[in-house]
Amino acid sequence: MTDKIILNIHHSDDYTDYLFLTAGLTDKRIVPIIDPTPAEIKAQSDINTLVLGCYNSRREPRPEDSVASYDATTHNIQLLSKRYLLEDGAVNATQAELARTTIQEKLDCFLYSEDNLHEYYRRNFPLLWRKRPTIYDNPHLFFAKTGMFNSSDWSYFPLGVLLKAIEENEDLFRAGKKGCNCEEPPLIIDFDTNHEGRYDNSYLLYTWCPRCHSRREVGTDYIGGYESCLISTYRDYDRRQGLSALTLFDVIEQLSISNYV
């Protein structure tokens, strides 16, 4: 899971530095630093921080080369400055903006992909569950986007709908004997396709116990009942208002403020 990105910008020229610096300008979860020391990176990092190396290549681009590229092995973003810095000192604004947009899209993918939002939701579910009355009372919180896809209309389930579905259909969202040894079975707080094949089943159920706070992953071959319940609950609360502008990160930040009721 990633909730913060550090751009480790290796200085090359002022304009390339500028492109990297402004690519994450509007998102406070992105921290660009030019030529940071290892100590500076460590001071800004935690276990959920992704550090991306940001480089400029001055080589001659081939016709098929993009102005910006990402290497998943090294976690490096590379720009080809000869695409936007011309020999006469002028700037090709189209290529420069393409470079910045490509960087932004890659950063957004790390933070706001379905998988990352799923994991962030699960990690913070105890807080969300505890603060659900506050979420229900605030439409901006209620309709914040989660990473759970609604296949019935190709949209995403809002946060409040997930919580309401679990709360109003607790018998359905109890995991039976699949979980801890507490008196009541744990809650099923999320489900997803079994991408990594850790189990023989097609799907994974993620459980959390409100009493002992244990978490489990349980394999299953059927999620139709849970998905149908979410779709039905969404219809009950949908007023065609769309999703909130708040991200799940914003919601957790607001709920984590000590004096936020």
DSSP codes, the chain: --SEEEEEE--S-HHHHHHHHHHTTT-TTEEEEES--HHHHHHH--TTEEEEEEEEE-SPPPTT--SEEEETTTTEEEEEGGGTB-TTS-B-HHHHHHHHHHHHHHHHHHHHSHHHHHHHHHHTHHHHHHTHHHHHH-HHHHT-EEEEEETTTTEEEEHHHHHHHHHHTTTTTB-TTSS-SSSSPPEEEEEEE-TT-SSSSSEEEEEE-TTT--EEEEEES--HHHHHHHHHHHHHH--S----S--HHHHHHHHHSTT--
CB 150 within 8 A of CB 162: no
Q: What pLDDT was estimated at residue 81?
A: 96
Give the β-pairing of 76-80 and 49-57. parallel
Residue 72 is encoded by which pair of tokens?
A: 């998943």
CA torsion sign for 181, 182, 183, 189 is negative
Angle of the 114-123 helix axis to the 248-256 helix axis, nearest 10: 20
Q: What pLDDT was estimated at residue 197?
A: 56
Per-residue pLDDT of the chain (261 residues; tens, 9 = 90+): 999 999 999 999 999 999 999 998 889 999 999 999 999 999 999 999 999 999 999 999 999 999 999 999 999 999 999 999 998 889 999 999 999 999 999 999 999 999 999 999 999 999 999 999 999 999 999 999 988 887 777 788 999 999 999 999 988 998 876 668 888 889 999 988 766 656 556 788 899 999 999 999 888 877 778 889 999 999 999 888 888 999 999 999 999 985 555
Q: What pTM does this model have? A: 0.87
DSSP 48-96: TEEEEEEEEE-SPPPTT--SEEEETTTTEEEEEGGGTB-TTS-B-HHHH
Q: What pLDDT was estimated at residue 155?
A: 81
Those residues whose C-beta lies under 8 Å from the C-beta of residue 246, and which sit 6 or more positions away, are 140, 141, 144, 254
Q: What pLDDT was estimated at residue 176?
A: 75
From residue 84, give the alpha-carbon distance in Å to each of 109, 140, 206.
Answer: 24, 40, 47
CB 20 within 8 A of CB 100: no
From residue 40, give the alpha-carbon distance in Å to each of 47, 206, 255.
Answer: 15, 36, 29
